[in-house]
Amino acid sequence: MTALRFVLLFFLISFSASAQKDYKLWLQYNEVNNAVLVSEYRNNLKGITVLGNSETIKIAEKELKAGFQDMLGIASEIKSDIKEENTLIIGSQSNLNAEIKKELQSDFGKINEEGFIIKSISFKNKKQIIISGKNDVAVLYGVFNFLRILQTNKSVKNLNIADSPKTNIRILNHWDNLDRTVERGYAGFSLWNWQKLPDFIDQRYIDYARANASIGINGTVLTNVNANALILTPQYLEKVEALANVFRPYGIKVYLTARFSAPMEIGNLNTADPKDAQVINWWKNKAAEIYKRIPDFGGFLVKANSEGQPGPQNYGRDHVDGANMLADAVAPFGGVIMWRAFVYSEHDANDRAKQAYAEFQPYDGKFKENVIVQVKNGAIDFQPREPFHPLFGAMPKTPLMMEFQITQEYLGFSTHLVFLPKLFQEVLESDTYQKGKGSTVAKVVDGTLYQNKLTGIAGVANIGNDLNWTGHPFAQANWYGFGRLAWNPYLDSETIADEWLRCTFSNHENVIKPVKKMMIDSREAVVNYMTPLGLHHIMDTGHHYGPGPWVSNLSRPEWNPTYYHKADKNGIGFDRSKKGTNATAQYSAEVEKLFDNVETCPEKDLLWFHHVSWDYKLKNGQTLWNGLALKYQEGVNQVAEMQNVWKKTEKYIDSERFNEVEMLLEIQYKEAKWWRDACLLYFQQFSGKELPKGVEKPTQTLEYFKSLKFPFAPGNG
């Protein structure tokens, strides 16, 4: 072998090994390096006893064998009966020995159909660890959680865990088009290769299902909310069926987006009126056709009468008419309709932030029981920070489903490190006060505030066919964190960051402690260098890449950043108080009072609810202008600190991922400065004030920043 060929071969092997780490997400199963723990694990896990032989149980068995081999160097022998001490027993309730069932009787009373038990027990005077649940998918959830215990280097002595998901539907919304482009996707093309389906099953489909099952996600909407009716034709339903067959053993149901005009586009009808008998019958027949292929099909997600999408209002009907017509079509099969509340109209002179509430709140209690209304976390559109959506808590007779955006449409795409579980937690912990103090958004979403039976959380996926799935290694944490919070909306984002880091990178404290803090602080850093003090929607037009607070020439007023910040010589901010659009009145009395008064409004939301003078004194004594400028600078400084933190981890992280993150942080630092300089130069025209001490002076002119164009920014298809 020539020297050159040897070098090339070595490079390819090295690249393959490190690239594989990127592909494995949080399921690295790295070797446990703690000798004391290795000894404990080996002593307590001398074998695996598997009760049951379903496809799901076989997956759980395979996962355990891989985990034990990679983490502990144990090649476990699988047994079907319990003979030895210190074995791991896995099996659903129906497959358990009567004696073990009796031992776990009270534990089974603590879990729901998807919950699992991980418990140290004594069986015939022998110590064992049992993983069980009421069905095989629940057992699989338990197996992944048990492997996470090993991954995060926790003890397996005296285990006593009974855990259930707090929401029914834990789902990813893929905004994937049939041509494999992904709207607001920043990690390559769509995973779904429709051209090769149904006969070619890509390994990625299996690995995708595995990753989702490991964090308890139980549903996937395969297609964009800006829907294409072709997905409902037999040609495509055959392909959807193939994916459903792959996902089923992992506990994942498939859902599709229903284009409201489908009866006309693929059904040869001359209307899509939800009150028309032919239309009603068409949807019933279509539902029956789908369920014949896919008996566990989840149902439809619908975007109607929003941003040009067809809907019931085209025919003088309302959202209730449209949702209930579809609900009747899927009800005989146990299907659900997820009806999006993201509506706003160019014909409505109302403040855009008020429109969804005004349109949907009067429909409370009018939807069928298998309809759940999907509401974005804030009233505008997935901004770096928004107050919680006023609909949460305002529709006690209607199940409301949270919609988060995992993909970073407004947060720097996949080039910026932003740990979104911090944002998700902030929203979920927000108090609606609808039934007094403690009426949090989380309690609305999980059904406990109003005893709703149908519950759910959706996340707009950040997944593409990039090698590392999400474009940025740390963007994987947002997928992971979404799944964990969908399972339990009360989890702390620090706990999630800790888990993800240990599973993905290292258990070394020199990584965990500083990088966890970096992750937790990263969301606030982005808010600071993009939209501090309640500013919002000042991104450039269309692609939402980079700053564009000057944009004012779009055909619809509410598409223009100037609509949202309203900067003038007197000050800046959108007045949503009683003196302005009175959007604050859409909240409960306690929250309204807090937001409506400029003195009590949290400063993080100040410019969302108030138009404030440039000389207004903030709580730290700074004028608004100085405080705004210093926030922008603080954001830049925070990214510089993120770079310093990451540099110190080099000897603990594989070079491939270390270098990748280092380069991306450099992009983020440059773009944070771009945001700071462009925004401050623009707003300075109105304030007429000098930049305060401590804020770096821009090196480019405002005209330079205005001249930048990005015709091929990703995700804008």
Let me know if residue 145 belongs to a domain.
yes
- Domain end: 124, 145, 163, which one? 163
219 with 148, same domain: the answer is: no
Let me know if residue 514 belongs to a domain.
no
For residue 431, what is the DSSP state?
B
667 with 632, same domain: the answer is: yes
**Do residues 251 and 294 lie in contact, with contact meaning Cβ atoms separated by under 8 Å?**
no
Q: Known catalytic residue: 446? A: no
353 with 236, same domain: the answer is: yes
The CATH number linked to 677 is 3.90.1330.10
Let me know if residue 523 belongs to a domain.
no
Name the stretches of the chain with pLDDT < 50.
Answer: 7-15
Sign for the CA dihedral angle at 276, 278, 281, 287 comes to: negative
469 with 542, same domain: the answer is: no
Number of independent structural domains in the chain: 3
Let me know if residue 416 belongs to a domain.
yes
| Closest among 354, 418, 681 to 548, alpha carbons compared | 681
75 with 123, same domain: the answer is: yes
For residue 32, what is the DSSP state?
P
Query: In what helix (H) or strand (E) does residue 212 lie, and over which residues does it extend?
Result: helix 203-214
| Closest among 375, 540, 570, 407 to 475, alpha carbons compared | 407
551 with 482, same domain: the answer is: no
HSE, side-chain direction, 13 A CA sphere, residue 393: 27
How many Cβ atoms are within 10 Å of 701's Cβ, its own excluded?
Answer: 11
Residues 516-552 pLDDT 10s: 999 999 999 999 999 999 999 999 999 999 999 999 9
The CATH number linked to 103 is 3.30.379.10
Given this model, what pLDDT does residue 3 score?
A: 57
198 with 225, same domain: the answer is: yes
Q: Known catalytic residue: 183? A: no
192 with 310, same domain: the answer is: yes
Residues 465-477 pLDDT 10s: 999 999 999 999 9
Q: Known catalytic residue: 307? A: yes
**Do residues 622 and 630 lie in contact, with contact meaning Cβ atoms separated by under 8 Å?**
yes
- Domain end: 126, 144, 163, which one? 163
181 with 223, same domain: the answer is: yes
Cα gap 452→22, rounded to integer Å: 40
Provide the domain limits for residue 626.
528-574+611-707
Choose the catalytic residue: 409, 446, 575, 605.
409
185 with 106, same domain: the answer is: no
The CATH number linked to 249 is 3.20.20.80
Q: H helices of 24-132, where?
A: 35-44, 55-72, 98-103, 105-108
Let me know if residue 338 belongs to a domain.
no
Let me know if residue 515 belongs to a domain.
no
Let me know if residue 287 belongs to a domain.
no
Q: H helices of 266-348, where?
A: 277-293, 319-330
- Domain end: 463, 491, 519, which one? 491
Tell me the three state secondary structure of residue 250. Answer: helix
174 with 147, same domain: the answer is: no
Let me know if residue 290 belongs to a domain.
no
Choose the catalytic residue: 55, 99, 179, 307.
307
55 with 184, same domain: the answer is: no
Choose the catalytic residue: 381, 426, 446, 605.
381
pTM for the full predicted model? 0.97
β-pairing verdict for 126-133 and 87-90: parallel
